[in-house]
Amino acid sequence: MTLTEDRSAPATDFSAARRAMIVSQLRTSGVNEPWVLEAMAGVPRENFVPAELRDAAYIDRAVPLGDGKFLGAPLVQGKMLQEAVPAKTDKALIVGDGEGYLATLLRPLVGSLDAVAPAAADEAASGAYDLIVIDGAIEVLPDALSARLAEGGRVVTGVTERGVTRLAAGTKAGGVTSLLPLAELGIPVLPEFAAPKRWSF
């Protein structure tokens, strides 16, 4: 009898990959809130990337999804969730894929969650949101989106300046939404939120 060697690659243990993500990416970088870790341990990232990239779902950098879109690194979503401090009393809006990974993490943590694509952010449902999370880095926060944030409401996003992206958070006070850049973080840039071009001489 001739034995044939099985040369096929072993199947990825995604449960082990999720545990490693928690221990080696999130905890070591200051994401330690139990509710964040529980949420991220329970959502399979591999279900949110193209089939051929499933083995790369837990790497510590963005994964391309096609059409110029990316799934941010696990640390990006962990930091965003931790900074957002979502509550069951929140009416929330996510600017991004309403069926994507970050939306799936956020939905059980808030009272309600609406979603709008970045290209249609100006068309977000009317009403006052307690929390707006933008799944990517922006150069400017559109006035139309800020107008949909309730007084005292929070916004969490990434901001980009001179090619550097940072996590940012802000609160609306006196009708004005101000963003405070926080930790430098590799966040996929959303071209739909680029600043208007200025003339230079």
Residue matched to tokens 């609160």:
171
CA distance 57 to 44: 9
Give me the residue spans of the domains in the chain: 14-192
Nearest-angstrom CA–CA distance, 121 and 134? 10
153-182 per-position pLDDT tens digit: 999 999 998 889 999 999 999 999 999 999
What confidence category does residue 144 fall into, taking pLDDT thresholds of 50, 70 and 90?
Answer: confident
Give the right CATH number for 14-192 from 3.40.1670.10, 3.20.20.10, 3.40.50.150, 3.10.20.340.
Answer: 3.40.50.150
How far apart (Å, rounded) are the C-alpha atoms in residues 96 and 105? Answer: 13
Dump pLDDT digits (tens) for 27-56.
Answer: 999 999 999 999 999 999 999 999 999 999
Tell me how far apart the alpha carbons of residues 183 and 11 are, in angstroms, rounded to a whole number: 36
Cα–Cα dist 82/80, whole Å: 5
> What's this model's pTM, rounded to 2 decimal places?
0.89
